[in-house]
Amino acid sequence: MDSTFMTATAHTNIALIKYWGKKNAFLNLPTTSSLSLTLDRFYTTTSVSPSETSTDTFVLNEQVCDATRVHTFLKILRTQLGDFPPLHVSSDNHVPTSAGLASSASAFAALTGEVVAYLGLDLPKETLSRLARRGSGSASRSFFGHFAVWHEGVDDDSSFAESLHAPDMPIALIVAEVSGQSKKVGSSEGMMRAMTSPNYDDWVKQSANQFDDMTAAVANADIEKIGAIAENNALAMHALNLTATRQPFTYFTDETQLILSLIKDMRRQGILAYATLDAGPNVKIVTTKAQAPEIVAALHDYLPQLKLDVAVSGPGITYD
Ligand code: ADP
Ligand code: DP6
Ligand code: CO
């Protein structure tokens, strides 16, 4: 096989129990375990080939761009996998980059899987997950389809994600794209600030309880409960940003707030709709496949310009 032409595809995942803080920034060990749903609609494809220069090179969406993070990560892979010659990395994001739609998750999962396959290594997904974690924490969860859990662990070996075996369920996630623009406060910076909130330790404790409740809700295919816990967990995460003692901030815009209040209204009318938000202004709505069209229609009536996509559970990493 000519591995030059092989491509890895990894899908983004949305955390229902969030990762928002590092207990070890060098190893990228999180302060909490997290739990996610992989999405079918948003993904990254990455291929590698020998570099034509003496250094690693990187092209994203056919454009040369800042390669610092890719360079740093390839260096880490060389320490973990053994040295390999300079690579040319070519990647395409089928998801907005740096907009709080988890491009770093699909990106570093695809890059890890691609480099490992290119080197002819056959490693279990849990090992790939451990490696990808060093590129971006959320990437550790993107090797697995459907639901995944990232165990926070205590060291490099014990911090990785695995599949959370769950029954099939008609869960849907509506992505309301308030802005596809690159965020001003990147995830790594945002969580460093959040950790200076006086409420941070309480959030970590609460997260452990919510993680257990969420695991049970997933096992019971209880979409209402999944949504309710996810919303609580996410809003508490965003409250940390506001209450940071060092450079408090928010990812929310007026439109974010409006969508959140519309979701509340829908709930009062008996519709199953709960919000979760990542490091950006975009709102993801947990609902059922059956109720998604109704929610999309209601939001569209109110905000005709708003870009809305309905995602369902997506697959793990693939190679072709
Ligand atoms: P997001 O909300 O999109 O995950 P982050 O701040 O977590 O935003 O990460 C965005 C960063 O991830 C980008 O600035 C870039 O360094 C990196 N990234 C995004 N897509 C790719 C890709 N396809 N390949 C390599 N790195 C990528
Ligand atoms: C809010 O994985 O992007 O989406 O590890 O610093 O790259 P780094 O951060 P990243 O953070 C994701 C934060 C989040 C919640 C989550 O995905 O768990
Ligand atoms: Co990210």
pTM, two decimals, is 0.97
28-31, long-range: CB < 8 A, 24+ apart? 28/133, 28/134, 28/136, 28/137, 28/159, 29/152, 29/153, 29/154, 29/155, 29/156, 29/159, 30/137, 30/150, 30/152, 30/159, 31/152, 31/195, 31/204
| Stretch 313-317: mean pLDDT | 98
Buried b / exposed e across 202-219, counting CB within 10 Å, b at 16+? ebbeebeebbebbbebbe
Percent of the chain with pLDDT over 90: 94
pLDDT of 52 above 50: yes
With a 6 Å cutoff on the Cβ, whether 180 touches ligand 1 is no
Of 29-38, 87-96, 176-185, 296-305, the least confident: 176-185
Q: Name which of 10, 13, 39 is nearest 172 in CA terms.
A: 39
- Pairwise CA distance, residues 98 & 244, whole Å: 22
Residue closest via CA to ligand 2's atom 14 equals 278
pLDDT tens digits for 297-311? 999 999 999 999 999
pLDDT tens digits for 163-193? 999 999 999 999 999 998 888 999 999 999 9
Asked whether the beta carbons of 74 and 83 are under 8 A apart, the reply is no
More confident: 182 or 261: 261
- Pairwise CA distance, residues 241 & 269, whole Å: 31
- Give me the domains of the chain, ranges plus CATH numbers: 8-167 (3.30.230.10), 171-312 (3.30.70.890)
pLDDT of 2 above 70: no
Return the bridge partners of 44, or none: 10, 93
| pLDDT value at residue 1 | 41
ipTM: 0.99
Asked whether the beta carbons of 38 and 148 are under 8 A apart, the reply is yes
Test site for ligand 1: of 77, 92, 97, most ligand atoms within 8 A of the Cβ: 97
Biggest CA–CA distance in the chain, Å, is 62
Residue 137 CA: which ligand 2 atom is closest?
A: 5
With a 6 Å cutoff on the Cβ, whether 28 touches ligand 2 is yes
